[in-house]
Amino acid sequence: MRPSSELGPGGTTVKDLLKDFKAFVLRGNVVDLAIAVVIGAAFGTVVTALVRDLITPILAIPGKTDFSALSFTIRNSQFLYGDFLNAVISFVSIAAAVFFFVVRPVNTLMSRRKAEPAVMSTTRDCPYCLSSIPIAASRCAFCTADVGAAG
């Protein structure tokens, strides 16, 4: 029996806990997720700069080249709708980039990779009770209706 000072929660040793934690952190999907978060944050920053510095001036409202300064006031409360417009443009830009540069190419690759033909079903639905019955059955095992041979 180990001394209680070496035991962690649940009666395991601290060394075992650290070994389990290391195995968890070094699993492929955790590392992949961490990389995705970092790259996503960097990509978001780039798109925000693109919207603020290039797209907003092109779409500029006459006299206003910075949407973040656009606002209106109701009862001494100021509403900054320009900053919201920048955020919407950034979101649409990121969504379009992810769709066209990640989703579409991955879907194309996956459809090319699919080489095996679709598997034929071995069952069919009973037209009376909608239970799943074998294709070769001529009578439903659930409602006992005569369903005829499959054609």
Q: Could you report the per-residue pLDDT of 16-49, keeping only the tens digit for each?
A: 888 888 777 777 677 778 778 888 888 888 887 8
* Token representation of residue 31: 């590392």
Instruction: Please give the angle made by the CA atoms of 10, 15 and 18, to the nearest 5 degrees.
Output: 85
In this prediction, residue 63 has a pLDDT band, given cuts at 50, 70 and 90, of low
Residue for token pair 């606002």: 71
Q: Report the CATH superfamily, name and number, of domain 4-113.
A: Large-conductance mechanosensitive channel, MscL; domain 1 (1.10.1200.120)
Instruction: For residues 92-118, give the mean pLDDT.
Output: 80
For the entire predicted model, the pTM comes to: 0.46
- Domain coordinates in residue numbering, the chain: 4-113, 122-151
